């Protein structure tokens, strides 16, 4: 099946919040889904696609986009919590400057997620508790939670549990009251589509308000963005982008035109005529002789004149025939009986 | 050989340490890559742990001798630790159950996880501060991971094992991990696909040996695609992959650009 990269943001459900009650044990109500402040890309889930066993799609990896979005959130002053399962903290923080790194809290599920190590470097409670603990940490102010990756969580937790936890994560505690503007939690999740079947993918998809699918063409990455808003039709948009080395997101208006594939500057072009057993080259004399040669069936004006002008001694053409003993000369016209 | 150039100059340097290299073959036999990496790392004075599930030790030894290393000598001086799957797989059934064994999953009704195998690798490659001349970075070689699926281990369990090896050998000890998997290709093998795709995402470098699309050829045995993933900076894919064709000879493998085999020109 053809897999197109899809970013699956994991946001709150598009249902209206539950009716307010009088007993609200916790703080002010915070809506589950993040409202997009960016003008263009609003991902809430960065989903990486990597279709086949190799390359054409393993190239369009989503972690760079996830990091670019994390950087955007951090630059807006939000606190970012990253649940890191697939890469080490060192690797995730690479490329970020200290300003961003100070706003980034990395919950390490990479080193010892399943408690296999003897001195026990694992987060207590395993992956599920680590995930649940995330909502208790976003105490105040807008925050972004990045899950790297949802695929890892989906492999290690039952799908319904994961979906419920994600839903709870984005809902937080609900309480009536004024929603402070900007008190929002945005949940980003990275998902490798080809590792899962359609069931779990569909379940996560239904949780997400925005799905961003990555693909690309000729070296240029693009994102298919599907936005589902409550009581509105889903909108679909394609955005070409590139990610700069410092993980800034650069949006492009249209795909850049590349008329021909650029030759790789690193490999010297190989001349195939160097090690042959036969000679492919022409000397100057040979080249001149070749150029001055007229081809037998080339119809030039000289030839035309020669044909039109009968040459000397060529008035008519004669056929001389000597029949031998076995020849049967029949004077009748064989086509006589044709009724043409 | 080009593979050595791929590793930047023939010796593990800072750039090439802490990496997971995935060897993958499709419609051909990619084990020549395993032999290459084994001899390469032994010659580079690295501490090597070979999880050999497919062939016997003597097979690797014979090929290694053609490539210029003696595995027996390396094992004797402690540079090489080998888990011979074919031999020790049988031992599992003749040992008391309480003793942990790396291939313990063979005994289990539900092949659970590969933690005992990971523990074996960790103990084999653990850096020892004994004051003697230390080996260079630790290296884990697995030949191969697809057979674990055939032995009943789930793809997620295999991915977890590789995850832990990556976390310990690559991240913590700055060593390298090289694993071979088989691409099942057109056969609808979901587990194999999940394993291969999952590993591709975890890898820094993918070497994929493919048979030629046109079938068997005497002079060109296959095609090798090299893909660098997880570069330091997100760049366009244009710089990240190369393709060569190769011919396996008795003591080496020769690489050439596509269509440039000396036999064809």
| Chain A residues touching B262 at Cβ < 8 A | 275
Phi, psi of B73 (to 5 degrees): -65, -40
DSSP secondary-structure letter at B252?
Answer: -
Quick one: pLDDT at residue A259? 44
CA distance B230 to chain A (A): 9
- Judged by CB atoms closer than 8 Å, whether chains meet at A192 and B197 is answered as yes
CA distance B14 to chain A (A): 15
- Judged by CB atoms closer than 8 Å, whether chains meet at B200 and A61 is answered as no
Share of chain B above pLDDT 90, in %: 42
Q: How far apart are CA A224 and CA A236, in angstroms?
A: 7
Residue A182 tokens, joined: 């900007």
Number of A–B residue contacts, CB under 8 Å:
103
Nearest-CA neighbor of B208 among B183, B230, B235? Answer: B183
With a CB cutoff of 8 Å and minimum separation 6, the contacts of A165 are A128, A131, A132, A157
Give the number of other Cβ atoms within 10 Å of residue B116's Cβ. Answer: 16
Q: How far apart are CA A34 and CA A80, in angstroms?
A: 13
> Chain B contact for A54, CB < 8 A?
yes
C-alpha radius of gyration, chain A, whole number: 37
Q: How far apart are CA B98 and CA B101, in angstroms?
A: 9
List the helix and strand counts (H, then E) for chain B. Answer: 9, 9
pLDDT (tens digit per residue) in B148-169: 998 889 999 999 999 999 999 9
Place of tokens 């070979």: B50
> Chain B contact for A243, CB < 8 A?
yes
| Chain A residues touching B119 at Cβ < 8 A | 116
| Chain B residues touching A119 at Cβ < 8 A | none
Nearest-CA neighbor of B170 among B198, B146, B192, B202? Answer: B202
By Cβ distance, the residue of A54, A242, A247 closest to B227 is: A54
User: Is-contact A238 A18, C-beta < 8 A?
Assistant: no
Quick one: pLDDT at residue A333? 79
Please report the sign of the dihedral spanned by the C-alpha atoms of residue A244, residue A92, residue B14, residue B208. Answer: negative
Residue B58 tokens, joined: 């003597």
Q: How far is CA A7 from CA A43, A88, B239, in A?
A: 8, 22, 24
| Chain B residues touching A216 at Cβ < 8 A | 237
From the first residue on, what is the mean pLDDT of each consecutive set of 10 residues in chain A (340 residues)?
Answer: 42 42 34 23 39 41 84 87 89 87 89 81 75 72 83 91 84 44 71 86 84 75 79 84 81 62 53 72 85 78 72 67 80 77
| Chain B residues touching A94 at Cβ < 8 A | 232
Residue B106 tokens, joined: 């063979």
- Judged by CB atoms closer than 8 Å, whether chains meet at B115 and A195 is answered as no
User: Is-contact A32 A171, C-beta < 8 A?
Assistant: yes
CA distance B115 to chain A (A): 7
By Cβ distance, the residue of A53, A110, A156 closest to B183 is: A53
- Judged by CB atoms closer than 8 Å, whether chains meet at B229 and A61 is answered as yes
Give the number of other Cβ atoms within 10 Å of residue B36's Cβ. Answer: 20
Q: How far apart are CA B36 and CA B33, in angstroms?
A: 5
Phi, psi of A83 (to 5 degrees): -95, 105
* ipTM for the whole complex: 0.84
What is the chain A residue with the closest CA to B195?
A: A195
Quick one: pLDDT at residue B185? 78
Q: How far is CA B67 from CA A98, A335, B32, B42, in A?
A: 48, 83, 11, 11
> Chain B contact for A275, CB < 8 A?
yes
Q: Which residues of chain B have pLDDT under 70?
A: 1-16, 111, 130-133, 230-240, 264-265
């Amino acid at each position: 099946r053809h897999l197109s990269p899809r970013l699956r943001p994991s946001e709150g459900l598009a249902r209206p919040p539950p009716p307010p009650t009088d007993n609200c044990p916790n703080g002010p109500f915070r809506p589950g889904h993040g409202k997009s402040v960016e003008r263009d890309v609003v991902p809430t889930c960065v989903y990486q696609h990597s279709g086949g066993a190799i390359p054409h799609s393993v190239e369009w990896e989503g972690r760079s986009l996830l990091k670019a979005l994390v950087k955007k959130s951090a630059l807006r002053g939000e606190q970012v919590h990253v649940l890191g399962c697939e890469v080490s903290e060192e690797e995730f923080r690479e490329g970020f400057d200290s300003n961003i790194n100070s706003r980034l809290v990395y919950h390490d599920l990479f080193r010892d997620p399943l408690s296999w190590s003897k001195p026990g470097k694992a987060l207590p409670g395993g992956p599920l508790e680590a995930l649940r603990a995330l909502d208790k940490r976003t105490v105040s102010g807008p925050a972004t939670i990045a899950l790297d990756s949802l695929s890892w969580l989906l492999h290690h937790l039952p799908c319904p549990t994961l979906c419920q936890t994600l839903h709870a994560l984005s809902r937080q505690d609900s309480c009536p009251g004024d929603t402070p503007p900007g008190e929002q939690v945005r949940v980003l999740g990275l998902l490798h589509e080809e590792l899962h079947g359609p069931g779990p993918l569909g379940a996560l998809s239904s949780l997400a308000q925005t799905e961003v699918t990555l693909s690309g063409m000729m070296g240029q990455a693009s994102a298919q963005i599907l936005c589902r808003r409550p009581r509105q039709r889903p909108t679909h948009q394609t955005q070409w982008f590139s990610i700069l080395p410092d993980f800034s997101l650069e949006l492009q208006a249209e795909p850049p035109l590349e008329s021909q594939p650029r030759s790789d500057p690193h490999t010297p072009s190989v001349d195939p005529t160097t090690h042959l057993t036969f000679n492919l080259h022409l000397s100057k004399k040979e080249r001149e002789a070749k150029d001055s040669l007229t081809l037998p069936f080339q119809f030039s004006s000289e030839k035309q004149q020669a044909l039109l002008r009968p040459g000397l001694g060529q008035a008519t053409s004669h056929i001389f025939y000597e029949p031998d003993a076995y020849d049967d000369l029949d004077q009748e016209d064989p086509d006589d009986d044709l009724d043409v | 050989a080009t593979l050595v150039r791929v590793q930047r100059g023939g010796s593990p340097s800072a750039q090439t340490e802490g990496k997971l290299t995935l060897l993958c073959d499709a419609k051909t036999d990619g084990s020549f890559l395993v032999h290459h990496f084994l001899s390469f790392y032994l010659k580079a004075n690295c501490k090597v742990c070979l999880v050999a599930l497919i062939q016997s030790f003597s097979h690797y030894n014979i090929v290694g001798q053609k490539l210029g290393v003696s595995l027996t000598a390396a094992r004797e001086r402690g540079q090489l630790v080998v888990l011979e799957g074919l031999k020790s797989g049988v031992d599992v059934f003749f040992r008391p159950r309480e003793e942990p064994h790396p291939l313990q999953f063979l005994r289990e009704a539900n092949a659970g996880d590969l933690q005992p195998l990971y523990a074996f690798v960790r103990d084999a490659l653990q850096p020892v501060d004994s004051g003697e001349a230390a080996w260079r970075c630790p290296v884990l070689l697995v030949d191969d991971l697809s057979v674990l699926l055939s032995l009943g281990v789930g793809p997620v369990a295999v991915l977890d094992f590789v995850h832990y090896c990556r976390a310990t050998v690559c991240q913590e000890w700055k060593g390298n991990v090289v694993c071979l998997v088989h691409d099942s290709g057109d056969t609808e093998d979901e587990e194999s696909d999940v394993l291969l795709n999952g590993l591709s995402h975890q890898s820094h470098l993918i070497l994929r040996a493919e048979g030629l699309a046109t079938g068997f050829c005497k002079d060109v045995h296959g095609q090798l695609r090299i893909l660098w993933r997880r570069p330091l900076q997100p760049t366009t894919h244009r710089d990240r992959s190369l393709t060569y064709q190769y011919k396996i000879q008795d003591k080496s493998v020769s690489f050439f650009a596509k269509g440039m085999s000396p036999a064809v020109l």
